[in-house]
Amino acid sequence: MAEKSYTVFNAMVDIVASPGKALDEIKLHTSWLWWPLLISIVLACGLFAYYYSWVDFEWLVEETIRQIPAEDRAASADAIRSFMSPNSSMVTTVVAIVVMTFLIYLIEAIYFHLVNKLTSGADIGFGQWFSFATWTAFVGIFGSLAAFVVIMVAGSNQITAESLQVLSLNSLLIHAAPGDPWFRWGSSLTLINIWMLVLMSIGYARWTGASMVKSAIIACLPWVLIFGIWAATI
């Protein structure tokens, strides 16, 4: 019996169940990147479209103002109350998701492309690295799905968007309140991010032949620098 051909849908399952196998196939099928890219963006946009239609928006506006440093609060309050609405927030967030998703994947692709050129010299094109960035971030859909669950089971509709990140370092360990300088730092670092870094480490090792230790250092270095510098400024 002929072996079934490997498809993009197999890759979507295997990026979770058998990441090494998935990443080997992804390297050969750059055009597949549009599937995880579109699914991730649509799910994230859908999450926030639903969130802004569900949240107590008057409370959210006042909570946003409350998180502004006291010395700047009075000057900003009127502008925030005038600008913030469910529709404007939804549109702004959707545009930001689309733009930032492409920008982050582009930066990651440039980073891995340059590091590969400088270290291993493996024959891997820029498009492949963009696909690599897209696929290793695909597990981010589980963060969006977890946020949907939070909304569904919430006993109140007075919840900030950051508080939907139940897999974040803040939710699990820090427990900083909105307005605390560590709140956004801890809310921005999640178990999903760690999962992505593991996938990046596995993928870089398999694609370039580098050791897992070297690959993990390459994958984690930008994150350590960004969150380390951020923490030092708090």
d(CA 22, CA 6): 9
12 located within any domain:
no
66 located within any domain:
yes
Beta bridge partners of 168: 190
pLDDT for 11 equals 97
Helix (H) or strand (E) holding 13: helix 8-17
- Nearest CA among 184, 195, 173 for reference residue 227: 184
Amino acid identity for residue 39 in this structure: I
d(CA 122, CA 124): 6
What is residue 177's three-state secondary structure? coil
Number of domains in the chain: 1
The secondary structure of residue 68, as a DSSP letter, is S
The alpha carbon of 54 is separated from its chain's Cα centroid by a whole number of angstroms, namely 22
170 located within any domain:
yes
Range of the domain at 46: 24-233
d(CA 3, CA 81): 61
16 located within any domain:
no
Q: Contact at 8 Å (CB) between 83 and 61?
A: no
Amino acid identity for residue 30 in this structure: T
d(CA 63, CA 143): 23
| Torsion, CA 157, CA 161, CA 165, CA 166, rounded to 10 | -20
The alpha carbon of 128 is separated from its chain's Cα centroid by a whole number of angstroms, namely 20
5 located within any domain:
no
- Nearest CA among 27, 189, 191, 190 for reference residue 123: 27
Query: For tokens 């760690």, what's the residue?
Result: 194
102 located within any domain:
yes
d(CA 26, CA 203): 10
11 located within any domain:
no
pLDDT for 3 equals 55
- From first to last of its 234 residues, the chain has per-residue pLDDT tens of 445 799 999 999 999 999 999 999 999 999 999 999 999 999 999 999 999 999 999 999 988 888 777 777 777 887 888 888 889 999 999 999 999 999 999 999 999 999 999 998 889 999 999 999 999 999 999 999 999 999 999 988 998 888 888 999 999 999 888 778 898 899 999 999 999 999 999 999 999 999 999 999 999 999 999 999 999 998
10 located within any domain:
no
pTM score, two decimals? 0.90
Amino acid identity for residue 80 in this structure: I
